[in-house]
């Protein structure tokens, strides 16, 4: 989704802005642009498509200037073309914006009546003209304060001014924004990752705050324009590798990294010496919690759905699951004894953040399961369980999903044991089994060749279905989501027992259907549902776990067997071949696997 960079320096900044924008490419975008100040003029270059296009344009149209802003745009208002790309500029002001201005139509009318001319179809352009208008009568601080008060909706802004050659303004409401500090230069970024190559000294803006960034210092203001002091945080300097190594795509690398994700999570939370789970500083007593509500979007929502089965199995807690975009607008009955768990890879998903904010406003117990620990969701939750899977670059979530479900499973075990819902012997046994999970995932990753061939059939089909019961149902949803987002093939995930109630009508001769039937409590029932779709002409790919008893059916088209494990752990293993199926389908179709069309890694608008 959209990303912002700003640099105020004494050296030329355009090439550093371009390389920082490349760091933001993982968020998913459709156009890019840059504006710098030189010789008392605002210069602006914008391109449709990738940052590479923008870079090529800059080879022709050299850009000078020691102060500048850059942006990658994911279209919300107006087509993804170079006119709608950011920055948007008037004679005096240039703006980059993440978020959505909800009252832009009204503001535009007002500004047109004042003689302002608009060039784009974006909501952002009203900000440019509003600041320009306010600057006629106000100084910088007051014009920004006045402008922000007129805006409804969400924003992170980077602003430069023709007549202020020594400063960049940053402002935040709803969309994340960070300030970075360097030697004789300072930065603005929509996340700390984009700034990481330049600095690890960061200040995050809170909602309603804005800042003035000069080369040698930064001033912060609250929404009333009063100066405030903010902390500088030192982020870890631990250097992660962001290259693809020998892999063709980040997604392929991230799928293969999953045994390490599991190992890291287990090392972090499992106390092998004492045969226990360490969740330090958990702020609530177990008798203060009687129910859990899990909230997320997309893949993270599937993690929540799966966790419901574990929490119900291993604890006596009541468990609810919600899609963040639904939760935030419903009339919720907030209960003091509910633990609200927010699951998010990025920690910046707008809907998940809004749901968290709502719970915080109601003084609820909030806990985040996130990958990016510097993120807004992590910072604003009362307790954080990091998943430690390292940066996930591929837009389609893979290792973060396994990381999320691992942490949720560990939390379910811990709460089950603390509440004495889970007997000590069973807890010990499950903990022992859990330690073998990374090895089992490693072995399951070896089923490669077969999946490559199988993916051909999916690519030729009009659509496909993924069926499962119990723990396998959320995995069916996740498998279908992966296939549709990467290979653009219509795919439906369904509880196998629901087929008769409508979707069976979709089954026709030759339709590929993935049936997830591990040897668990649901096995026999799922196999019956499988026979029903086979009888109607479906080509069934059965995904199960290795077992001495063969599955009896001559009519199964293909079978993939994952390693065997205790029932709780099978969902981890079943996920792997489905991720690969989606990967190989998209690979054969020649699609952009790490950046599927229309999608973004970090969904910072609702």
Contacts with ligand F6R, residue ranges (CB under 6 A) = 297-300, 344-346, 349, 352, 396-397, 481, 485, 603
Q: How far is the CB of 262 from ligand F6R (least distance, A)?
A: 18
Q: Which is nearer to ligand F6R, 264 or 397 (CB)?
A: 397
Q: Which is nearer to ligand F6R, 145 or 399 (CB)?
A: 399
Per the CB < 8 A criterion, the answer to whether 553 and 566 are in contact is no
d(CA 353, CA 549): 47
Side-chain-facing half-sphere of 59: CA atoms under 13 Å: 5
Q: How far is the CB of 349 from ligand F6R (least distance, A)?
A: 3
Which residue lies nearest ligand F6R, judged by its C-beta? 298
Q: Which is nearer to ligand F6R, 125 or 606 (CB)?
A: 606
> 2, 211, 304, 367: which one is catalytic?
2
Q: How far is the CB of 402 from ligand F6R (least distance, A)?
A: 12
Structure tokens of 16? Answer: 């550093």
Q: Which is nearer to ligand F6R, 514 or 603 (CB)?
A: 603
Q: How far is the CB of 492 from ligand F6R (least distance, A)?
A: 16
Chain centroid, CA 397 distance in Å: 8
Q: Which is nearer to ligand F6R, 335 or 379 (CB)?
A: 379
Backbone angles phi, psi at 298, to 5 degrees: 55, -130
Element (H, E) at 48: strand 41-48
Within 8 A by CB and 6+ apart from 224, the residues are: 145
Per the CB < 8 A criterion, the answer to whether 461 and 488 are in contact is no
Q: How far is the CB of 300 from ligand F6R (least distance, A)?
A: 4
Write out the E strands in 53-206.
67-73, 88-89, 93-101, 153-161, 164-173, 178-182, 185-189, 201-204
Q: Residue 320, Cβ neighbours under 10 Å: how many?
A: 14
Specify burial of residue 154 (Cβ count, 10 A radius: 0-12, 13-18, 19+): buried
Structure tokens of 273? Answer: 């010496």
What does DSSP assign to residue 599? -
The string of DSSP letters for 237-277 reads ------S-TT-SSHHHHHHHTHHHHHHHHHHHHEETTTTEE
> 46, 145, 196, 601: which one is catalytic?
601
Q: Which is nearer to ligand F6R, 458 or 583 (CB)?
A: 583
The string of DSSP letters for 296-326 reads E-HHHHHHHHHHHHHHHHH---EEEEEEHHH
What sign for the dihedral angle of Cα 92, 96, 102, 104? positive
What residue spans of 395-498 are helical by DSSP H? 399-418, 424-435, 437-444, 448-460, 472-487
Q: Quick one: which of 43, 34, 120, 35 has its CA closest to 76?
A: 120
Q: How far is the CB of 409 from ligand F6R (least distance, A)?
A: 17
Q: Which is nearer to ligand F6R, 393 or 454 (CB)?
A: 393
Q: Which is nearer to ligand F6R, 161 or 584 (CB)?
A: 584
Residue 359 designated active-site:
no
Q: How far is the CB of 61 from ligand F6R (least distance, A)?
A: 35
CA distances from 477 to 113, 482, 492 (A): 51, 9, 7
Residue reference for tokens 């850059």: 70
Q: Which is nearer to ligand F6R, 481 or 565 (CB)?
A: 481
Residue 304 designated active-site:
no
Q: How far is the CB of 350 from ligand F6R (least distance, A)?
A: 9
Q: How far is the CB of 28 from ligand F6R (least distance, A)?
A: 10
Q: Which residues are catalytic?
A: 2, 601
């Amino acid at each position: 989704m959209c990303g912002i960079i700003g640099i105020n320096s004494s050296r030329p900044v355009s090439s550093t802005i371009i390389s920082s924008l490349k760091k933001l490419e993982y968020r998913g975008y459709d156009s890019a642009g840059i504006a710098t100040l030189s010789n008392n003029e605002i210069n602006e270059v914008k391109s449709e498509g990738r940052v590479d296009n923008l870079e090529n344009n800059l080879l022709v149209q050299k850009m000078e200037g020691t102060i500048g802003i850059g942006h990658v745009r994911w279209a919300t208002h107006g087509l993804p073309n170079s006119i709608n790309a950011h920055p948007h500029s008037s004679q005096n002001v240039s703006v980059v914006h993440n978020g959505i201005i909800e009252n832009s139509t009204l503001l535009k009318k007002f500004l047109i009546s004042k003689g302002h001319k608009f060039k784009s179809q974006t909501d952002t352009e009203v900000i440019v003209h509003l600041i320009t208008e306010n600057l006629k009568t106000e100084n910088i601080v007051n014009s920004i304060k006045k402008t922000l008060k007129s805006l409804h909706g969400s924003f992170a802004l980077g602003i430069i001014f023709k007549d202020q050659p020594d400063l960049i303004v940053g402002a935040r409401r709803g969309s994340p924004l960070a300030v970075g500090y360097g030697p004789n230069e300072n930065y603005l970024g929509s996340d700390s990752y984009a700034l990481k190559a330049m600095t690890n000294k960061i200040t995050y803006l809170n909602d309603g705050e804005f800042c003035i960034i000069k080369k040698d210092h930064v001033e912060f203001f609250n929404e009333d324009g009063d100066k405030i002091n903010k902390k500088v945080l030192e982020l870890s300097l631990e250097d992660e590798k962001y290259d693809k190594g020998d892999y063709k795509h980040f997604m392929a690398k991230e799928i293969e990294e999953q045994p390490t994700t599991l190992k890291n999570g287990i090392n972090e939370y499992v106390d092998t010496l004492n045969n226990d789970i360490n969740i330090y500083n958990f702020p609530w007593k177990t008798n203060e919690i009687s129910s859990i509500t899990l909230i997320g979007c997309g893949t993270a929502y599937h993690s929540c759905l799966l966790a419901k089965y574990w929490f119900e199995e291993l604890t006596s807690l009541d468990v609810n699951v919600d899609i963040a975009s639904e939760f935030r607008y419903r009339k919720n009955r907030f209960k003091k004894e509910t633990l609200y768990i927010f699951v998010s890879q990025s920690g910046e998903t707008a809907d998940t953040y809004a749901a968290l904010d709502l719970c915080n406003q109601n003084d609820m117990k909030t806990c985040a399961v996130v990958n990016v620990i510097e993120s807004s969701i992590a910072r604003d939750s009362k307790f954080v369980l990091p998943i430690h899977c390292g940066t996930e670059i591929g837009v389609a979530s893979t290792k973060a999903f396994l990381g999320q479900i691992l942490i949720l499973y560990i939390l379910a075990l811990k709460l089950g044991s603390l509440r004495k819902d889970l007997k000590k012997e069973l807890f010990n046994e499950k903990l022992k089994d859990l330690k073998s999970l990374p090895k089992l995932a490693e072995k399951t990753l070896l089923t490669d060749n077969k999946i490559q061939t199988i993916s051909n059939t999916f690519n030729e089909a009009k659509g496909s279905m993924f069926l499962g019961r119990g723990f396998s149902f959320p995995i069916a949803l996740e498998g279908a989501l992966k296939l549709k987002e990467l290979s653009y093939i219509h795919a439906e995930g369904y509880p196998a027992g629901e087929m008769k109630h409508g979707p069976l009508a979709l089954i026709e001769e030759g339709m590929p259907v993935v049936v997830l039937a591990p040897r668990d409590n649901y096995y026999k029932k799922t196999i019956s549902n499988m026979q029903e779709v086979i009888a109607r002409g479906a080509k069934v790919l059965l995904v199960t776990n290795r077992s001495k008893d063969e599955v009896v059916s001559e009519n199964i088209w293909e079978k993939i067997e994952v390693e065997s494990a205790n029932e709780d752990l099978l969902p981890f293993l079943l996920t792997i071949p489905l991720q690969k199926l989606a990967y190989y389908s998209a690979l054969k179709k020649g699609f952009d696997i790490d950046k599927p069309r229309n999608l973004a890694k970090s969904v910072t608008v609702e």
